[in-house]
Amino acid sequence: MEFGCNSGRTAAAILRNVDSVERYVGVDVRPGYSFACKVQAREVPAVPGELAIGDKRFELLLRDRGTFDLTPDDLPSCDVVFIDADHSRPAVLNDRKLAKAIVRPGGLVVYHDDNGLEVVDVSLALDGLADEGAEIVHIAGTWLAFERM
Ligand SMILES: C[S@@+](CC[C@H](N)C(=O)[O-])C[C@H]1O[C@@H](n2cnc3c(N)ncnc32)[C@H](O)[C@@H]1O
């Protein structure tokens, strides 16, 4: 599952390179979505999922407010959620809550944009969760972090 699949670039790369993936659900917003982080203002894709839609394993899920309009009951359980959607703190916390509810035991939540930059709140949100005891691991030299369920 990918929260914020955009044009499907990462989805296509994963589907091309990881044969064991049986199903890949990409979530995104519809045009008109308003971001809290200004740096993201132009990120809503013109054609969501277009690079992955040709793969039978890929499914696109669009909502006006993306993951804010979804509950765990709307989503299948899965092994991995890649969170790369709205990078504001409330959105990261919302996406993590949703991910935790659907990832199977032993699975992963992967976070993108854990980069310490002030234009997005991902590191701020993850550091806050770590202070509360969450075991979130930053991968050195990347913008990625992960948490095992
Ligand atoms: C940085 S781009 C994602 C890039 C993509 N993950 C990739 O690797 O190619 C962020 C995406 O998140 C989407 N987005 C923003 N808020 C969202 C939300 N609440 N739920 C789902 N997607 C959201 C945006 O429309 C945009 O397509």
Interval 78-105: pLDDT, tens:
999 999 999 999 999 999 999 999 999 9
d(CA 6, ligand 1 centre) in Å: 5
Do 28 and 6 meet the contact criterion of CB atoms below 8 Å apart?
yes
Q: Would you say the CB of residue 110 lies under 6 angstroms from ligand 1?
A: no
Q: What pLDDT digit, counting tens, does each position of 41-51 carry?
A: 888 899 999 99
pLDDT at 40: 85
Distance 44 CA to ligand 1 centre (A): 7
Which helix (H) or strand (E) is 83 found in, with range? strand 78-83
Go through the domains of the chain in sequence order and give each one's CATH number.
2-148 (3.40.50.150)
Q: Which pTM value belongs to this model?
A: 0.97
Asked if residue 98 has its Cβ within 6 Å of ligand 1, the reply is no
pLDDT exceeds cutoff 90 at 38: no
Q: Which of 7, 29, 113 to mutate to test the pocket of ligand 1 (most atoms within 8 A of CB)?
A: 29
Half-sphere exposure of 28 (CA within 13 A, CB side): 20
H helices within the chain, ranges in order? 9-17, 89-102, 122-131
Ligand 1 atom closest to Cα of residue 7: 9
Q: Which residues are CB-contacts of 11 (< 8 A; sequence separation ≥ 6)? A: 2, 5, 24, 26, 49, 51, 52, 55, 58
Interhelix angle for 89-102 vs 122-131, to 10°? 60
pLDDT recorded at residue 86: 96
Residue 91 CB–ligand 1 contact under 6 Å = yes
Tell me: pLDDT of 34 over 90: no
Nearest CA to ligand 1 atom 6: 5
Q: Is the CB of 88 under 6 A from ligand 1?
A: no
The band of 39, judged by pLDDT with boundaries at 50, 70 and 90, is confident
